[in-house]
């Protein structure tokens, strides 16, 4: 059941009309390899098993639990971001709330018994979420699309679920009402009622599939627009030149939610390194960079804190303004605190 559904009928016909769809699957604008190069898989296996302790923090990751008062107080300047771990972010923009890639399960896996397990708890319960205006999904991988979370949100938050083409088949199978499923191709836009909150699906360089890597659904990055504020979320993506196109068409952005973790030379096309994340932030015209897709699940051979160490160095080199929040910490883009290297304080005694 967690595997989801298969697109059919009008949904499949609409997919087939996409410029990204041919030969029964979606394609990147810039070709991307999702598999390690031939002959390197044994090296990857050795690397995954060597130094496993580095991929988990030796102590406790500090989690902030936002209060109801925190979440109901309006943000200064109209834009506030609360990173809840991995790629899950609550974005508040001019009085409206968008929840990106919600995953509340203990594991990002089709099984509750095996698969990558959380390195820290979710900072707040689903029941503690304030009323939302939309739930936005970037693609259908388990660390971004979680059946159990979707079902609970569908029952508790009567809002639209917005996603790339084909992903609605999973939603429909899991009981999300069809009239609340909004599927978009790249460069398609939806204006949510009441007016004032816009969502645009933009390009990304990745892949999809829950049972196999079949690219049977689309993947996307997202532009969120209010009356005056703008936010960009990469979803999962390798670096590609169209970030400059996204910036020219939709930017500049007050903030970016930039994927910086789970990279590896074994799959360089589908996840960005921290340095590439900084380059993407600059290409789209971002002001404040908020890193995501690190710290919560160990999905690559690098150490758990390496992404933000490399991000900090790359940001300093290029004069990029950034903040690395603790999971659950509210970041008011109008009053950003001075960056604190909180991950340095995690030790065995914590």
pLDDT digits (tens, 9 = 90+) for 146-158: 999 999 999 999 9
Is residue 335 in a domain? Answer: yes
Place 52 in a pLDDT band, splitting at 50, 70 and 90. low
What is the rounded average pLDDT for all residues in the chain? 94
Is residue 34 in a domain? Answer: no
Q: How does DSSP classify residue 193? A: T
CA 156 to chain centroid, in Å, comes to 22
Place 54 in a pLDDT band, splitting at 50, 70 and 90. confident
Closest CA to 150 of 185, 101, 84, 192: 101
Can you give the CATH number for the domain in which 80 is found? Answer: 3.60.15.10
Least trusted range by pLDDT, from 13-27, 62-76, 238-252, 309-323:
62-76
**What's the pLDDT at 44?**
63
Give the residue-averaged pLDDT of 180-207.
96
**What's the pLDDT at 90?**
98
Checking if the pLDDT of 38 tops 80, the result is no
Residue 247: CB atoms within 10 A of its CB come to 20
Place 8 in a pLDDT band, splitting at 50, 70 and 90. very high
Is residue 127 in a domain? Answer: yes
Is residue 200 in a domain? Answer: yes
Place 45 in a pLDDT band, splitting at 50, 70 and 90. low
Which structure tokens are listed for 162?
Answer: 């917005």
Is residue 163 in a domain? Answer: yes
Is residue 250 in a domain? Answer: yes
Q: Report helix, strand or coil for 117.
A: strand
**What's the pLDDT at 318?**
98
CA angle 268, 274, 278 (to 5 degrees): 115
The parent domain of residue 219 ranges over 75-345
Is residue 157 in a domain? Answer: yes
Per-residue pLDDT reduced to its tens digit, 303-333: 999 999 999 999 999 999 999 999 999 999 9
Is residue 21 in a domain? Answer: no
Q: Residues 252, 287: contact at Cβ < 8 Å?
A: yes
Q: Write the DSSP string, 234-280.
A: --S----THHHHHHHHH--EEEEEEE--S--TTSTTTS--HHHHHHH
Place of tokens 């099984």: 111
Place 349 in a pLDDT band, splitting at 50, 70 and 90. very low
Checking if the pLDDT of 39 tops 70, the result is no
Total domains in the chain come to 1
E strand segments, 65-218: 79-85, 88-93, 96-100, 134-136, 161-164, 181-184, 189-192, 197-202
């Amino acid at each position: 059941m967690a595997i989801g559904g298969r697109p059919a009928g009008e949904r499949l016909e609409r997919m087939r009309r996409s410029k990204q769809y041919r030969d029964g699957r979606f394609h990147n604008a810039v070709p991307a390899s999702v598999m390690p190069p031939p002959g390197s898989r044994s090296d990857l296996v050795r690397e995954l098993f060597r130094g496993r302790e580095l991929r988990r923090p030796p102590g406790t990751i500090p989690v902030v639990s936002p209060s109801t008062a925190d979440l109901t107080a309006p943000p200064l300047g109209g834009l506030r971001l609360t990173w809840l771990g991995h790629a899950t972010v609550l974005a508040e923009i001019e009085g409206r709330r968008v929840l990106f890639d919600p995953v509340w399960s203990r594991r990002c896996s089709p099984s509750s018994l095996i698969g990558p397990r959380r390195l820290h708890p979710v900072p707040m319960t689903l029941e503690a979420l304030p009323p939302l205006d939309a739930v936005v999904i970037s693609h259908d991988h388990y660390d971004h699309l979680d059946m159990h979370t979707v079902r609970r949100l569908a029952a508790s938050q009567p809002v639209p679920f917005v996603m790339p083409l084909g992903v609605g088949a999973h939603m429909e199978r899991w009981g999300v009402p069809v009239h609340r499923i909004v599927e978009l191709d790249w460069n398609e836009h939806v204006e949510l009622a009441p007016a004032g909150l816009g969502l645009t699906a933009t390009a990304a360089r990745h892949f999809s599939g829950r049972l196999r890597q079949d690219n049977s659904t689309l993947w996307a990055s997202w532009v969120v627009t209010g009356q005056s504020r703008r936010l960009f979320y990469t979803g999962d993506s390798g670096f590609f030149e169209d970030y400059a196109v996204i910036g020219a068409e939709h930017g500049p952005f007050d903030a970016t939610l930039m994927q910086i973790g789970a990279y590896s030379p074994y799959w360089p096309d589908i996840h960005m390194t921290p340095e590439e994340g900084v380059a993407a932030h600059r290409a789209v015209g971002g002001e404040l960079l908020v890193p995501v897709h690190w710290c919560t699940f160990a999905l690559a051979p690098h150490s758990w804190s390496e992404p933000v160490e490399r991000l900090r160095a790359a940001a300093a080199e290029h004069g990029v303004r950034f903040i690395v929040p603790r999971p659950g910490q509210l970041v008011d883009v109008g009053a950003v605190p001075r960056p604190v290297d909180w991950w340095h304080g995690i030790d065995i005694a914590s």
